[in-house]
């Protein structure tokens, strides 16, 4: 545990040296909430959204945005770069197992995600009167499953990408359509039937649906949780089979 903690601290220090990554994963979700919350119409109940406010919906979307950025772009870029530069191979010659570095990278990303989500929820509550998750246990479950799914996709990207740049490109290519289905540009609640079904079956769309349900006081639907678990299982097995340490 001492080695794992040291590696996690080291990964965190390396992450904090990258101001662009820090801004988009730790601060931008809150900035997004602050911008949208200051649009007058977004703070009013909308009949098209069942009486909900747009800003209420975007808190869950901002959480998914954080997890998507970390899982699809930050994690695969770091892991593929480590392999490309031979860092994983050299670690294998020491008492530290390469899988320990993998765990430290994921732990660091989870800590950043928790900090970002705490900031989003705090600003949403204090500045725009967005209710904190009414189903706290369901929110934690939805958050962890969405994070696990996002990071599993990132591990698969890192497994198949020959370099850090390629991993970043693949992650970016996946990020935008997955965030579309999570409602970043248009809330899922106004999607037509077929598009909403596709969204419900997409990893980040299912995550947003589960998080939003917990925000409003309901336990996340078992359909959404099953979709997230299925992605984690299938993609996790694929990543484990394809990942190479050198």
If we measure between CA atoms, which residue out of 30, 19, 20, 42 comes closest to residue 187?
42
| For residue 91, pLDDT beyond 80 | no
| Total residue length of the chain | 246
- Which has the higher per-residue pLDDT, 93 or 243? 243
Mean pLDDT over the full length of the chain: 91
| For residue 92, pLDDT beyond 80 | no
What's the pLDDT at 1? Answer: 57
| Torsion, Cα of 59, 204, 228, 49 (10° steps) | 50
Residue pair 196/188 in contact by the 8 Å Cβ criterion: yes
| For residue 120, pLDDT beyond 60 | yes
Backbone angles phi and psi of 94, in degrees to 5: -105, 170
DSSP the chain: -HHHHHHHHHHHHHHHT-HHHHIIIIIHHHHHHHHHHTSGGGGSB-GGGTT-BHHHHHHHHHHHHHHHHIIIIIHHHHHHHHHHTTHHHHHTTSSS-HHHHHHHHHHHHHHHHHHHHHHHHHHHHHHH-PPPPSSHHHHHHHHHHHHHHHHHHHHHHHHH-SSHHHHHHHHHHHHHHHHHHTTSSS-GGGS-HHHHHHHHHSHHHHHHHHHHHHHTTSPPPHHHHHHHHHHHHHHHHHHHHH----
For residues 174-189, give the mean pLDDT. 92
SS (H, E, C) 169-194: HHHHHHHHHHHHHCCCCCCHHHCCHH
| For residue 110, pLDDT beyond 80 | yes
For residues 218-238, give the mean pLDDT. 95
| For residue 81, pLDDT beyond 80 | yes
If we measure between CA atoms, which residue out of 135, 122, 127 comes closest to residue 43?
127
Domain ranges (residues) in the chain: 2-242
Lowest mean pLDDT among 89-93, 114-118, 223-227: 89-93
Tokens of 152: 């599993």
Backbone angles phi and psi of 230, in degrees to 5: -65, -45
| For residue 229, pLDDT beyond 70 | yes
């Amino acid at each position: 545990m001492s080695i794992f903690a040291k590696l996690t601290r080291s990964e965190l220090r390396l992450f904090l040296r990258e101001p662009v990554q820090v801004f988009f994963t730790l601060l931008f979700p809150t900035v997004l909430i602050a911008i949208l919350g200051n649009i007058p119409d977004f703070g009013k109940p909308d009949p098209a959204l069942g009486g909900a406010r747009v800003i209420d919906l975007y808190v869950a979307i901002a959480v998914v945005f954080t997890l998507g950025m970390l899982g699809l772009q930050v994690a695969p870029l770091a892991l593929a770069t480590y392999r490309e530069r031979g860092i994983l191979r050299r670690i294998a010659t020491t008492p530290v197992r390469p899988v320990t570095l993998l765990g430290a990278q994921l732990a660091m990303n989870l800590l950043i995600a928790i900090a970002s989500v705490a900031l989003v929820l705090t600003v949403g509550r204090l500045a725009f009167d967005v209710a904190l998750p009414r189903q706290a246990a369901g929110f934690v479950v939805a958050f962890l499953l969405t994070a696990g799914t996002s990071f599993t996709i990132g591990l698969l990207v890192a497994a198949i990408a020959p370099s850090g740049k390629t991993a970043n490109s693949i992650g970016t290519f996946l990020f935008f359509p997955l965030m579309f289905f999570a409602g970043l540009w248009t809330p899922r609640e106004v999607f037509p039937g077929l598009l909403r079904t596709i969204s419900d079956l997409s990893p980040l769309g299912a995550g947003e649906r589960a998080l939003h349900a917990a925000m409003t006081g309901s336990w996340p639907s078992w359909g959404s949780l099953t979709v997230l678990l299925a992605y984690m299982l299938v993609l996790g097995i694929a990543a484990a089979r394809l990942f190479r340490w050198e």
